[in-house]
């Protein structure tokens, strides 16, 4: 997810950035994931586990990596940048905005992908980009009772698409209304827990993306 033609020319049809659930069964989830990856074109996959157990993360990463890399989909991991090289991953998604981007870039090198979630702050997103992030995620983009209730405004994405070449991701409480509203301005929609709780995650993802045509 380095800079691409989409970002340089302004977003065309946004791509899908898929996030794993925070917990899943190693025996069954790869099959479920495989179905989604086969049904919907995915630009990037993120391993986002709630556990801090390195062994569990490693075993999950091994299974998920096989599904992703067999389809030429890059796999990044939330926060744990020291595991990127060890687990054969493509990069890391940082959750603390721009604060650690510069340090992590020095630690994992120029070839690894670094993304930064910057909440609703366009300013923090710009700082993350200047510090070496390959993409910036702003959110949440739908209403949620989690966090402080602030949302990333449409205007932030519109401004970004006009002024900044760095790819932008819409993440957090993504719903059909958000997809409709932000499709002209964002490069990616990050989707995860919005679909995994459904009986058919693949169908749920397709329904969520329906406004994209």
Q: What is the dihedral of CA 200, 202, 204, 205, to 10 degrees?
A: 160
pLDDT tens, position by position, 95-123:
999 999 999 999 999 999 999 999 999 99
Distances (CA, A) of 109 to 39, 41, 91: 33, 28, 10
Q: What are the helix and strand counts (H, E) for the chain?
A: 9, 8
Q: 16 φ, ψ to 5°?
A: -105, 130
Residue 5 pLDDT more than 60?
no
The tokens of 195 are what? 């679909």
Q: Write out the E strands in 59-185.
A: 75-78, 91-94, 113-117, 135-138, 168-171
Q: Write out the E strands in the chain.
A: 15-19, 44-47, 75-78, 91-94, 113-117, 135-138, 168-171, 188-191
pLDDT tens, position by position, 149-179:
899 999 999 999 999 999 999 999 999 999 9
Q: Residue ranges of the alpha helices (H) in 70-189?
A: 101-108, 122-131, 154-163, 176-182
Average pLDDT for 203-210: 98
Residue 6 pLDDT more than 80?
no
What CATH fold (topology level) applies to the domain 12-212? TIM Barrel (3.20.20)
pLDDT tens, position by position, 9-44:
445 899 999 999 999 999 999 999 999 999 999 999
Where is average pLDDT lowest: 51-60, 90-99, 107-116, 141-150? 141-150
Average pLDDT for 37-62: 97
User: What is the predicted pLDDT for the residue at 149?
Assistant: 84
């Amino acid at each position: 997810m380095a800079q691409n033609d989409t970002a340089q020319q302004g977003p065309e049809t946004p791509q899908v950035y898929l996030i794993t659930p925070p917990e899943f069964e190693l025996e069954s989830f790869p099959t479920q994931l495989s179905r989604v990856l086969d049904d919907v074109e995915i630009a990037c996959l993120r391993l986002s586990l709630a556990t801090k157990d390195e062994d569990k993360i490693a075993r999950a990463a091994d299974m998920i990596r096989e599904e992703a890399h067999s389809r030429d989909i890059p796999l990044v991991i939330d926060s744990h940048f020291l595991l990127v090289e060890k687990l054969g991953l493509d990069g890391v998604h940082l959750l603390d905005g721009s604060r650690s981007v510069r340090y992590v870039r020095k630690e994992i090198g120029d070839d690894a992908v670094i993304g930064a979630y910057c909440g609703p702050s366009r300013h923090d997103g710009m700082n993350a980009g200047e510090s070496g992030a390959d993409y910036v995620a702003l959110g949440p983009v739908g209403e949620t009772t989690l966090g402080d209730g602030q949302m990333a405004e449409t205007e932030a994405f519109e401004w970004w698409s006009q002024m900044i070449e760095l790819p932008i991701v819409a993440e957090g409480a993504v719903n059909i209304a958000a997809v409709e509203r932000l499709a002209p301005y964002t490069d990616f929609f990050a989707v995860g827990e919005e679909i995994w709780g459904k009986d058919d995650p693949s169908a749920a993802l397709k329904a969520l993306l329906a406004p994209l045509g």
